[in-house]
Amino acid sequence: MNKNFKIVHETPSRLRYKYLLLKEDFIDENILKSYLENIDGVSSVRINKKAYSVVFNIVEDIKENIEDVLRKLTLDDLLSTDCVDNAVCVNCVSSEKPSLSGVARASGALIAERFINNNLAKATITTTAAIPMLMEGTKELFTEGLTSKVLESAAVGISVYRRDYLAANSTNAMLELGEYIEETTVHKSDDLLKELSKPNVKEAWVEKTDENGKKVEVLVETENIEVGDIVVVAAGSTIPVDGHIVHGDASVNQVSMTGEAEPIKKQRGDRVISGTVLEEGRLKIWAEHVGANTATQRIKHYIESSLNEKSSVQLKATRLADKLVPVTLGLAGISYLFTKDFERVASILQADYSCALKLATPVAFKSTISKAGHDGIMIKGAKSIEALSNVDTFIFDKTGTLTKGDLEVIEVASYDEEWTEEELLNLTASTEEHYFHPVAEAVVKAAKQRGFVHMHHEEVEFIVAHGVKTEVEGKLVVIGSRHFLEDDEQIDFSKHKDRINKSLDEGKTLLYIGFNGKLLGTIALADQIRSNSKESIEKLRQLGVNHIVMLTGDVEKKAQMVAKELGVDEVYSELLPTDKASIVKKMIDEGRNVAFVGDGINDAPALISANVGISMSKGADIAKATADVSLLKDDIDAVVQAKELSNKTMNLINTNFKATVGINSAILGGATLGAFSPIVTAVLHNGTTIGLLLNSIRGVKK
């Protein structure tokens, strides 16, 4: 058995495998399905992601070929494939620009026919110009049944049969012009999406150790970079990985990923994401996410998923358009029975709903996904937009959403008169600066803000889940938890018990510093509420959200203080991680449409349970993978932007929908009563379609 798959069942025409690649967080079964269906000899593929199952229906014995593909296929291959026949792949969106040849051909015939008196010559020119459309209509009739293309071709064919060459050429020219504008509109929409799916950085410099133990920089292909590698990036280069800075200061332009126009200063300990550009400076980055797990690849995956997904309103529009084709055809038939007027029939056949109904809706969704993506908001498809527009309840996991998620030093307390607060902070920072622990990073950051002066110390010993040890001037320094200092190192806390308990009652997180066997002092840290959290909650209410909930593991007293400050409606405190999903389900059972906003590994069940899951930028990978909306910028206002975009998009789609049905019904009625000639009907119908498409591609205002 291969480590990537095992065969579960086989017959001459069917193979079933357990495929472990389906366990990957970022894989999309639709993309995998389309990829596997391209194998020669495979008639169809069925995938069950939850069961890690792939079923192949085959027309010949190709078991060996299939297993060879399954053996070699990786997530990177799947997301970077050219997939020419794969309808859900960004790379497959045609890069070929729409052609004006059809418009030129039809317009040329329209003009030439006006200057020719010979009927045979007129018929020849008109028929030649109309043949491509007539052939397409005939082909579509046999392959897809009655469609708008069939009706349009019939209208042109009837005009040619009646020798009404002006009507035939005018109609043909208008249809070709309309089709060109439709193709241009969709092409521009897809270009916006493709722009977000940036090409990968092909090569990068990685720090290696040579045979002599010296550090050297080696140019490697980015696909060969591994987690834990030190990637070196110089000014002007694109960062190829997601990770932490271990050395250097730089100015990083993140506009392509987060929408922030101004370059951001980055230094040791800061996070950086792939796809951003280093403008000044030089950085060494510890690679945390590589290959298909980087931010740029996740964006690409989101886009590929969105292209494959249809919302209920989109499906409704498609079904309605299909149902109305026979109605149009039926009216044309009834009209001919009563009037025997082929001109009226040709006019009726042009008043079709399909183009505007089927094209305007997906273009509006694509436009919104693109605009949101440029602002660092990744929306996973049309369904997510529609669901978010219906949300009336927002549930926030407090830490990392309503709060910054980063500890900050709020107080330094020295218990020894010989040590100032600055000296105590410098001692702690000098010892802690070697580690990426959130507490250590907060202490070092605070020391730098106050003018950090490094204090010489001996080698630092890190004790997992306890703290650190070192020596300064021959005296032992211990920094960490109370348990570490009081129980393990036997440091007396009794003299400062009341002061410590007061800080703890106020909800502060304390870091304890011991020096030469005595408690030297404490550093209080807290996760600060975001400056715009309250404002964002108020904006959500203005967008139709009537219930705001906060979840936290904090004690009841502290939770109520935060809830009161922010103005939330309901708060759940002292929660276990497993409680979050049950609260989400409870509110859904009450009839609420719920959006859950979180960022932790333990938030994944709640993100899945909610009608819409939104993951914050610093969230765990599993949170981002299960979310419907993933934020690339660390700003709670992005949640508001996502909700606002969704509301406006659905309003735009509903407006287009009503306009399409109303205007085209009026045109159809006029054509049926003989009020409009085929030329007038073509102008009105195509003009409406073009207007609605342009309205959709313009999209909503941010």
* Residues counted in the chain: 702
d(CA 314, CA 648): 16
Contact 58, 14 (CB under 8 A): yes
- Residue 102 is encoded by which pair of tokens? 């059809």
- For the four alpha carbons of 46, 49, 50 and 51, in that order, the dihedral sign comes to positive
Residue 428 tokens, joined:
């702690």
- Burial class of residue 64 (count of CB atoms within 10 Å of its CB; 0-12, 13-18, 19+): exposed
CA distance 478 to 428: 9
Give yes or no for a contact between 623 and 607, defined as CB atoms under 8 angstroms apart: yes
Q: How large is the C-alpha radius of gyration of the chain? A: 32
Tokens of 469: 């040890």
Q: Give the rounded distance of the alpha carbon of 57 from its chain centre.
A: 33
Question: Whole-angstrom Cα distance, residue 466 to residue 556?
Answer: 27
Task: Find all residues with CB under 8 Å of 484, minimum gap 6, and list them.
Answer: 463, 466, 467, 478, 512
Instruction: Please identify every residue annotated as catalytic.
Output: 397
Strand pairing class (570-572; 547-551): parallel
The secondary structure of 460-495, three-state, reads CEEECCCEEEEEECCEEEEEECHHHHHHHCCCCCHH
Structure-token match 């082909």, residue found? 139
- Pairing between strand 377-379 and 629-631? antiparallel
Rounded Cα distance between 155 and 677, Å, is 11
Q: How far apart, in whole angstroms, are the C-alpha atoms of residue 250 and residue 424?
A: 29
